[in-house]
Amino acid sequence: MRMEPDRWIETEGGPLVCIERCFAHLWSGLNRSTSGASSDYERACAIKDYVGVLDVGPSQALVLGDMPLSTSIWNDANGDEYIYIVRCVYTNGDEIVKKIIEDHRYLDFSDPLEIISIHFSTRNIVMFDSAFTGINKEDYIAFECPFNHVHVDTKLIAVDQIASLVVHRLRA
């Protein structure tokens, strides 16, 4: 597993979304449609679970619900078995997160809290603040997802008083 994420991302208070890069421009953020329907941000905020799925045009968006948390992407060593979305509830530093993720005992998903599925038609995914309109800002993370039909397993990892993480495992 690649142990160093490229970067961490945070929001202004709402959920993060993951959507195919080619459809990110369809995400309306805080803007309401002319018909008065809920904005994409409002729809994302309505997700009460740790993760949810919303339709966006011909695509779907993965919504990282619950609460706004510092988040990053971690890949396994060959990048084709799992992708981990790691969200920090609290921690004493990045080195602690790295040690937890390296210790495969914590990555046992035999009894996940939630399991959902989403379909991506392309490999290029972007993660950004749901309040934004697409990826007009620099504050996003791009990653490749090698699967089209993706199962997302969610787990909470708490290690004594030093760290608490929400981890989403993406798999075929």
DSSP string, 20-82: EGGGGGG--TTPPPTT-PPPHHHHHHT--SSEEEEEETTEEEEEE-SS--EEEEEE-TTSSS-
pLDDT at position 80, please?
66
pLDDT at position 1, please?
46
pLDDT at position 4, please?
57
pLDDT at position 154, please?
98
Beta-bridge partner residues of 125: 20, 143
Rounded CA separation 169/84 (Å): 5
Q: Is 103 exposed, middle or buried (0-12, 13-18, 19+ CB in 10 A)?
A: exposed
Element (H, E) at 152: strand 149-159
Q: Locate the domains of the chain by residue range.
A: 16-171
Q: pLDDT in tens for each of the 172 residues of the chain?
A: 454 566 899 998 899 999 999 999 999 999 886 666 799 999 999 999 999 999 999 999 999 998 899 999 998 765 568 999 999 999 988 889 988 888 888 989 999 999 999 999 999 999 999 999 888 767 899 999 999 999 999 999 999 889 999 999 999 9
Task: Pick the closest to residue 150 from 84, 103, 102 (CA basis).
Answer: 84
pLDDT at position 79, please?
56
Total length of the chain: 172
Using CA atoms, how far residue 87 sits from 30, 35, 78, 137, in Å, is 23, 35, 22, 21
Using CA atoms, how far residue 122 sits from 1, 31, 66, 84, 118, in Å, is 23, 26, 27, 18, 12
User: Taking the CB of residue 134, how many other CB atoms lie within 10 A of it?
Assistant: 18
**What tokens appear for 88 in the block?**
């920090």
Rounded CA separation 115/135 (Å): 27
pLDDT at position 134, please?
86
What is the value of pTM for the model shown? Answer: 0.92
pLDDT at position 27, please?
94
pLDDT at position 35, please?
64
> Under a CB-based contact definition with an 8 Å cutoff, are residues 2 and 75 in contact?
yes
